[in-house]
Chains A and B, each alone.
Chain A
Amino acid sequence: SQKIEQNSEALNIQEGKTATLTCNYTNYSPAYLQWYRQDPGRGPVFLLLIRENEKEKRKERLKVTFDTTLKQSLFHITASQPADSATYLCALDVGNGQNFVFGPGTRLSVLP
């Protein structure tokens, strides 16, 4: 069956460290993958998109990798700050460009 998982429901790290979040999927062949940030009571905010033929994408302190062989994407936040505390969602494109499947999310807490 098709499944998309994110490594853990919650992740606590110390300020200044690198947070690494994992998104694994089975029985999908996404053309691209997106990462979103969601704060409580608000809609998700788009962070990064990576295509299937791209290995890595960076934006400021954020880095995303995409391994279609392992069916996995890693999302890194370097020099993490308490303001980075939020739920992070990965989303796969499963066809037609706008039909997305979202992972359950990982709630990241960056402790001062």
Chain B
Amino acid sequence: KAGVTQTPRYLIKTRGQQVTLSCSPISGHRSVSWYQQTPGQGLQFLFEYFSETQRNKGNFPGRFSGRQFSNSRSEMNVSTLELGDSALYLCASSLVAGDLSEQFFGPGTRLTVL
């Protein structure tokens, strides 16, 4: 079974631009969560989607948004990029939301904002 895939793996943008990251969960998994990981703040929860609906949201500004499609693939968007948005963005999928099932993480997208 293929794991969680994220595209692109690396991205360089400049301040003020916007970016869209993509995540394909493991086949059959319906819950997708997004995380931001930085050396200073560690791994922080962004949001979680299940059946195309956002179930939970972390403490991030409205510039961070996401969506999930009917095939469970998910995208996250960051608008008006700031230098502090440079981070590793990870998505994780699980079978069903809220059932204590383990999360499977993708390799991440390394975003650098110049």
User: Which residues in A have some Cβ–Cβ distance to B below 8 Å?
Assistant: 32, 34, 36, 41-46, 49, 51, 89, 91, 93, 95-105
B104 interfacial contact with A, CB 8 Å:
yes
Please give me the residue from chain A that is nearest to B3 by CB atom. A43
A32–B100 Cα distance when bound, in Å, is 8
B61 interfacial contact with A, CB 8 Å:
no
Q: Are B42 and A97 in contact (CB under 8 A)?
A: no
A48–B35 Cα distance when bound, in Å, is 20
Interface of B is mostly: strand
If A43-B105, A43-B107 touch, whether A99 touches B100 (CB-CB below 8 Å) is: no
The stretch among B11-19, B66-74, B91-99 that forms the contact with chain A is B91-99
Q: Are B42 and A105 in contact (CB under 8 A)?
A: yes
B55 / chain A contacts, CB cutoff of 8 Å: 96, 98
User: Which residues in B have some Cβ–Cβ distance to A below 8 Å?
Assistant: 4, 31, 33, 35, 42-45, 48, 50, 55-56, 58, 90, 92, 94, 97-100, 102-108
Q: Are B98 and A43 in contact (CB under 8 A)?
A: no
Q: Are B48 and A44 in contact (CB under 8 A)?
A: no
A103–B58 Cα distance when bound, in Å, is 15
If A42-B107, A104-B42 touch, whether A49 touches B102 (CB-CB below 8 Å) is: yes
Q: Are B98 and A96 in contact (CB under 8 A)?
A: yes
Q: Are B103 and A46 in contact (CB under 8 A)?
A: yes
If A43-B107, A105-B42 touch, whether A49 touches B56 (CB-CB below 8 Å) is: no
